[in-house]
């Protein structure tokens, strides 16, 4: 399958206008464009040390940063640089995290990134959201490869990636110097043919309990 955007353009190409923000529904979540009204929740959830420690998010997460970041996401999507989505729980409309693909210019490759607020950990939300975004990346954006970096100590993220089909590909030693630490980054990758092989074999879905 080699799906293109609704206007026939390949969404992963940065030189073409991206279609509207996707809205992706899973069993318990909706992945949608951020709105400025999400800013207080983003600041509250992304601003805690446990989330910052495993990401490149700023810390402290100062007033105004969430609004500026949300505002920047629209332009990033429109120019094909990145598509970042809010993870909202359908049950009560609560924002539980963020997930996105950062597209490599001129390549059918993207980097997957995500965080879930600490009060919502361990409920399968990251796995459910990441599985849905991977499907979007391969089926709608026609990507050939999605990759995901994580800090070596981030076992929860490693497990999320393993559950949805990523392979561990190796590491880059002391690759990121953040907050006075030299972090080794483990890299995970998922190829288009692997995704479709998995779909054919398991009837892979984004349902909770499918992982």
Ligand X SMILES: CC(C)(COP(=O)(O)OP(=O)(O)OC[C@H]1O[C@@H](n2cnc3c(N)ncnc32)[C@H](O)[C@@H]1OP(=O)(O)O)[C@@H](O)C(=O)NCCC(=O)NCCS
Q: Shortest distance, CB of residue 46 to ligand X, whole angstroms?
A: 9
Residue 176 touching ligand X (CB under 6 A):
no
Residue 91 touching ligand X (CB under 6 A):
no
Residue 171 touching ligand X (CB under 6 A):
no
Q: Shortest distance, CB of residue 19 to ligand X, whole angstroms?
A: 27
* Residue with tokens 């996401």, as numbered in its chain: 73
Long-range CB contacts for residues 183-188, cutoff 8 Å, separation at least 24 = 183/151, 183/152, 184/151, 184/152, 185/149, 185/150, 185/151, 185/152, 186/149, 186/150, 186/151, 186/152, 186/158, 187/147, 187/148, 187/149, 188/147, 188/148, 188/149, 188/150, 188/158, 188/161, 188/162
Instruction: Judge whether 84 and 34 are in contact, CB under 8 Å.
Output: yes
Of residues 4, 9, 54, 72, which one binds ligand X by CB under 6 A? 54
Residue 55 touching ligand X (CB under 6 A):
yes
Q: Shortest distance, CB of residue 63 to ligand X, whole angstroms?
A: 21
Of residues 39, 70, 160, 164, which one binds ligand X by CB under 6 A? 160
Dist. CA 106–CA 96, nearest whole Å: 32
Q: 140 or 187: whose CB is closer to ligand X?
A: 187
* Residue with tokens 């993870």, as numbered in its chain: 87
Residue 26 touching ligand X (CB under 6 A):
no
Q: Shortest distance, CB of residue 144 to ligand X, whole angstroms?
A: 21
Residue 141: name the closest of 188, 108, 98, 100 by CA: 108
Residue 157 touching ligand X (CB under 6 A):
yes
Q: Shortest distance, CB of residue 107 to ligand X, whole angstroms?
A: 21
Residue 170 touching ligand X (CB under 6 A):
no
Q: 8 or 170: whose CB is closer to ligand X?
A: 170
**Contact residues: ligand X, CB under 6 A:** 51, 54-55, 114-116, 121-127, 150, 154-157, 159-160
């Amino acid at each position: 399958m080699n799906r293109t955007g609704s206007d026939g353009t390949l969404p992963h190409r940065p030189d073409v206008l991206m279609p509207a923000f996707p809205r992706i529904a899973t069993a318990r979540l909706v992945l949608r464009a951020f709105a400025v009204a999400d800013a207080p929740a983003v600041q509250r959830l992304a601003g805690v040390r446990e989330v910052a420690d495993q990401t490149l998010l700023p810390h402290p997460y100062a007033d105004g940063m969430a609004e500026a970041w949300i505002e920047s996401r629209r332009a990033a999507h429109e120019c094909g640089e990145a598509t970042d989505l809010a993870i909202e729980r359908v049950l009560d409309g609560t924002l539980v995290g963020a997930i996105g693909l950062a597209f490599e210019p001129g390549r059918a490759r993207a980097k997957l990134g995500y965080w879930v607020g600490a009060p919502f950990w361990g409920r399968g939300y990251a796995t459910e959201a990441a599985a849905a975004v991977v499907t979007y990346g391969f089926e709608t954006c026609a990507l050939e490869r999605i990759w995901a970096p994580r800090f070596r100590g981030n076992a929860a993220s490693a497990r999320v990636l393993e559950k949805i089909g990523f392979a561990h590909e190796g590491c880059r030693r002391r690759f990121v110097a953040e907050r006075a630490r030299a972090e080794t980054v483990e890299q995970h990758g998922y190829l288009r043919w692997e995704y479709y092989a998995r779909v054919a074999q398991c009837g892979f879905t984004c349902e909770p309990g499918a992982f």
